[in-house]
């Protein structure tokens, strides 16, 4: 397998699906001539032309709505947001149109559309540009939500999202674009939506997580190993549908769990997963499930305060030690 960046893995996925299916097209601000805000669409305009790679004005609600209409007409649009923070402007089309078309037309129309772009905090982008919004989108029935944490997952999940007949949101880690990893070159490499993966096997405690936090969880697990704690890291990859079986299997094995996420804790993904674990694996738990997440406040601009607000390896290790009563 080739070792490439998360950015290039997404680019490969787009190129392969544009090549495979003439109904697929990419649309968004600067996706064509500028190659995308984070260069994910580099070279696609030259290769596929301006009818398949479409630059738009700064009108999130407008081009998201065009995408929904195109999907209802039988095309497979991929809509890029420069950041999911800007996608809030398009929420009416994502939540009220894309998510509900199939249901409100009694199945007469499907909406095979992908909305994708970077999410979460980078470095000193302040409150309005540092939000991990996956929990809010996972709340709505009718939407599928995936959050890849590695280059291989980025490629496999994006390809699966493009081939899916329902609206799928792909939230990419803003600081992951330069991350390198092994990525299959097979053009039919697809990771099914709704399938979690054990990124590190362990026996003492389960660190459940997704997206950008996968790497943080693996770092915490390696440091815990030095203190003879064998942590298992489970990457959900898909938040809706959720691979509850994989989560429960891990908890039943280790009897202790910590949920690590980038977003806020209140009504977060961790809150949902803890509720599911309580309902399905309560008798196997030897300690309450703890959560590690962002501080309950808008992200500060100050570099030091921002560091304190974000989840960290140290806080994850502390939570694991608490559920182990160490």
Q: Which residues are catalytic?
A: 60, 129
- Residue 241, preceding peptide bond in cis (omega within 30° of 0): yes
Four-residue CA torsion sign, 124, 127, 128, 132: positive
In sequence order, the β-bridge partners of residue 258 are 207, 290
Q: What is the dihedral of CA 123, 124, 129, 132, to 10 degrees?
A: 50
Using an 8 Å Cβ cutoff, are 233 and 199 in contact?
Answer: yes
**Alpha carbon distance 41, 33 (integer Å):** 9
Q: What is the dihedral of CA 40, 45, 51, 54, to 10 degrees?
A: 40
What is the enclosing helix (H) or strand (E) of 18?
Answer: helix 6-20
- DSSP tag of 191: P
């Amino acid at each position: 397998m080739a070792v490439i960046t998360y950015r290039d893995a997404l680019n490969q996925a787009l190129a392969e699906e544009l090549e495979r299916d003439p109904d697929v097209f990419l649309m968004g601000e600067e996706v064509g001539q500028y190659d995308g805000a984070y260069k994910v669409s580099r070279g696609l305009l030259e290769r596929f032309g301006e009818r398949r790679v479409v630059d738009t004005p700064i009108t999130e609600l407008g081009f998201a709505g065009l995408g929904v209409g195109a999907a209802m007409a039988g095309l497979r649009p991929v809509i890029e947001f420069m950041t999911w923070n800007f996608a809030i402007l398009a929420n009416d089309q994502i939540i009220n149109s894309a998510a509900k078309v199939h249901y409100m037309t009694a199945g007469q129309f499907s909406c095979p559309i992908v909305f994708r772009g970077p999410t979460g905090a980078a470095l000193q982008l302040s409150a309005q540009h540092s939000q991990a919004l996956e929990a809010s989108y996972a709340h709505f029935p009718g939407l599928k939500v995936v959050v890849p944490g590695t280059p291989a997952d980025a490629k496999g999940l994006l390809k699966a999202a493009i081939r899916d007949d329902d609206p799928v949101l792909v939230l990419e880690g803003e600081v992951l674009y330069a991350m390198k990893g092994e990525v299959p070159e097979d053009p039919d490499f697809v990771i099914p939506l709704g399938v979690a993966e054990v990124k590190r096997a362990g026996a003492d405690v389960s660190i459940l997580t997704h997206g950008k936090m996968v790497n943080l969880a693996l770092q915490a697990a390696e440091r815990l190993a030095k203190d003879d704690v064998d942590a298992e890291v489970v990457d959900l990859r898909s938040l809706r549908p959720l691979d509850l079986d994989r989560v429960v299997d891990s908890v039943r094995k280790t009897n202790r769990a910590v949920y690590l996420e980038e977003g806020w804790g209140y009504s977060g993904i961790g809150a949902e997963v803890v509720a599911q674990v309580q309902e399905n694996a309560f008798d196997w738990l030897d300690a309450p499930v703890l959560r590690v997440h962002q501080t309950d406040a808008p992200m500060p601009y100050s570099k030091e305060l921002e560091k304190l607000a974000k989840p960290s390896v140290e806080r994850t290790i502390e939570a694991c030690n608490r559920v182990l009563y160490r």
